[in-house]
Amino acid sequence: MKAKFMHSWQIFKRSLIVLKENKRLLLFPIVTLALTLVIAILSLMPAGALLAFMDSGYSWKQAEHWQVVQKRFSSNDDVASIKMVVTSSNSDGTVKSSHYSHNVGISGFRTWILYGYLAVLYFGSMFLATFFNVAFYNEVLKVLNGETVSIKAGLKVAMKRWKAILFWSLLAGIVGYLIRLIGEKLGFVGSWIMRFVGLAWSVAAVFIAPVIIRDQEENNPVRCLKKSAGIIRRTWGEGLVGYVGMSGIVSLFVIVPVVTIIVAFAFSLILSAQVPWLAPQVVPIVFAVCAVIWLLLCCVLGYVCSVLEKIYIGALYIYGTEGVIPEAFDKETLDMAWKVRQGK
């Protein structure tokens, strides 16, 4: 445990040196998140509108229409009850109104349209994640080679490699879905087996974004995966079973604020015991403040660590493909990235 933390700490410190000299890297995930949210909202609007304004037997101005819409969003049933009034003329010229109440199935809609739409959103999210990952890694590699950061340049490179990104997103999406599905079908033992399969997949694909960036002519996702795995095998050997990275330091950043909150909360309880009339005011306020601080710290530290992680992986890629140790890193730090199978 101590060794894992020390490894993570060294990786954290050296990646932080690079980040301090290139603070604009912190802007990239923010821009990415903003663009992703805009695209997600625009993508979800048609589905929401379709569900909201699909025929319900009522005018969309009537309250009953929106009750049916609410059922479509919240009910687990495959049908929605719809009432209709059919007006016709009798032979004697009088008007006859017939009231019908029946269930209109929306399972077909869910099956053929909604599920299809969700599939598009699933693969679309995979594409967006890979697209912005490629753009970000392009700037990370530039920084490690002594160049400056440019968000526009990173997005431009990702645009040029859209085919490779699309094909990889489809492959990764299908494989991820199958791993999860098989794990669920096979029960407890199957879930553990699939967990190891997923781990092997994540190790093999760790350099997929840099490979897409550097190999401009390669669009085949399987060959890209083989190249990523090949870099790891050639540089660090075949006994690797997982990626260490900064997992130790991230765990510490989560634990320390929790301990701080517990201490602060215990102090507030002691204080309220000494001064009872303060208890109703002090305890809830201290708890709320500590909870907010902890949440903010987790968000900020998680954000910074995600950027540092990408810097480190970029350094690993340069070391593995070019044999060059980027500035701020050393060979020992780059060699400690992986969990090694016992006996290797």
Please report, to the nearest 10 degrees, the dihedral formed by the alpha carbons of residues 316, 318, 323, 327 taken in order: -80
Domain of 229, in residue numbers: 40-47+110-244
Per-residue confidence band for 156, with pLDDT thresholds at 50, 70 and 90:
very high
**Percentage of the chain surpassing pLDDT 70?**
63
Q: With the C-alpha atoms ordered 165, 229, 231, 331, is the resulting torsion angle positive or negative? A: positive
Q: What is the pLDDT of residue 171?
A: 93
| Separation of alpha carbons 141 and 137, rounded Å | 6
Within a domain: 151:
yes
**Which residues, in sequence order, are CB contacts of 193 under 8 Å at separation 6+?**
183, 186
Q: Which of 135-144, 145-154, 162-171 has the lowest mean pLDDT?
A: 145-154
- Is pLDDT of 170 > 70? yes
Nearest to 114 by CA among 40, 39, 46: 46
Per-residue confidence band for 189, with pLDDT thresholds at 50, 70 and 90:
confident
Q: What is the pLDDT of residue 192?
A: 82
Please report, as a single letter, which amino acid is at residue 78: D
Residues 69 and 109: beta-carbon distance below 8 Å: no
Q: Helices 187-204 & 221-236, crossing angle to 10 degrees?
A: 80
Q: What is the pLDDT of residue 98?
A: 46
The pLDDT tens digits for 228-284 are: 989 888 877 655 545 556 666 666 666 766 777 777 767 766 766 666 665 566 667
**Percentage of the chain surpassing pLDDT 90?**
16
| Separation of alpha carbons 288 and 293, rounded Å | 9
Within a domain: 170:
yes
Within a domain: 292:
no
Q: What is the pLDDT of residue 57?
A: 65
Within a domain: 222:
yes
Per-residue confidence band for 79, with pLDDT thresholds at 50, 70 and 90:
very low
Provide the token pair at 17. Answer: 């040196």
Within a domain: 227:
yes
| Separation of alpha carbons 172 and 175, rounded Å | 5
Total structural domains within the chain: 1
- End-to-end distance of the chain based on CA atoms, in angstroms? 20
Provide the token pair at 182. Answer: 């098989």
Within a domain: 313:
no
Within a domain: 325:
no
Mean pLDDT of 49-73: 65
Q: Which of 79-93, 146-160, 179-193, 211-225 has the lowest mean pLDDT?
A: 79-93
Q: With the C-alpha atoms ordered 247, 133, 207, 220, is the resulting torsion angle positive or negative? A: positive
Within a domain: 99:
no
The pLDDT tens digits for 110-131 are: 456 667 777 777 888 889 889 9
Q: Greater confidence, 172 or 87?
A: 172
The pLDDT tens digits for 272-325 are: 666 666 556 666 777 777 778 878 877 888 788 888 888 989 998 998 888 888
| Separation of alpha carbons 31 and 37, rounded Å | 10
Q: What is the pLDDT of residue 88?
A: 41
Per-residue confidence band for 343, with pLDDT thresholds at 50, 70 and 90:
very low
Q: Compute CA 201 distance to the chain's CA centroid, rounded to the nearest angstrom.
A: 17
Mean pLDDT of 190-206: 82
| Separation of alpha carbons 269 and 200, rounded Å | 48
The pLDDT tens digits for 18-35 are: 988 888 888 888 887 787
